[in-house]
């Protein structure tokens, strides 16, 4: 199953990167003083597959999952692993591709019975709203059954098989 997801993710990344280049949205490295750039050993598709594995295996800590599972147990599938710090940098660089890939390729099919639910994603405590800078202008105050919060709301639609149909 991991190999199948990798093949689909690799094809998606090739098409996505070609589309970015065609529209002139790819990064151009002319602002640096030195032109030193070494290509990453992990491809974008491998990073996406590792992120999917982390979320589907129900691990709570990405660091332990990456170091114990990917670097040791699945070493034969990912022979060119990088350090954990470098992986977190790569993860940030493919987050847009990851979300679009999940939205376009990995969602389930509607079976006629759907369930809608929402959950809150707190950014910080209410007392620290005015000091918070990371999501300033994006996060908002909201109210749920647990009271007021500052952050985002995640909305999910699932079918009767437990497959995610859509999210926002």
In whole angstroms, give the CA distance from residue 148 to residue 158: 26
Q: What is the CA radius of gyration of the chain?
A: 19
pLDDT digits (tens, 9 = 90+) for 114-142: 999 988 888 888 888 888 888 888 888 88
Which domain covers residue 150, as residue numbers? Answer: 114-167
pTM (2 d.p.): 0.74
Residue linked to tokens 């060119």: 80
Same structural domain for residues 90 and 120?
no
Whether 58 and 141 share a structural domain: no
Strands 114-124 and 147-159: antiparallel
Residues 99 and 129 occupy one common structural domain = no
Residues 142 and 93 in one domain: no
What pLDDT, in 10s, does the model give residues 94-118? 888 999 998 888 888 888 899 999 8
Shared-domain flag, residues 89 and 19: yes
- Number of domains comprising the chain: 2
The token pair at 106 is 């990995």
User: Do residues 93 and 119 both lie within one domain?
Assistant: no
Q: Which residues contact 162 (CB under 8 A, 6 or more apart)?
A: none
């Amino acid at each position: 199953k991991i190999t199948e997801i990798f093949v689909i993710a690799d094809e998606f990344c090739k098409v996505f990167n070609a589309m970015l280049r065609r529209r002139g949205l790819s990064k151009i490295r002319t602002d640096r003083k030195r032109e030193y750039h070494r290509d990453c050993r992990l491809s974008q598709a491998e990073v996406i597959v590792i992120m999917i594995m982390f979320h589907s295996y129900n691990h709570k800590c990405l660091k332990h999952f990456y170091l114990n599972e990917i670097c040791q147990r699945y070493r034969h599938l990912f022979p060119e692993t990088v350090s954990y710090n470098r992986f977190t940098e790569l993860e940030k660089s493919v987050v847009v591709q990851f979300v679009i890939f999940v939205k376009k390729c990995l969602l389930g099919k509607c079976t006629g019975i759907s369930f809608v639910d929402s959950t809150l994603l707190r950014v910080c405590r209410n007392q620290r709203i005015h000091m918070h800078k990371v999501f300033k202008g994006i996060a908002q105050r909201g109210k749920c059954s647990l009271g007021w919060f500052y952050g985002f709301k995640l909305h999910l639609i699932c079918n009767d098989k437990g497959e995610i149909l859509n999210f926002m």
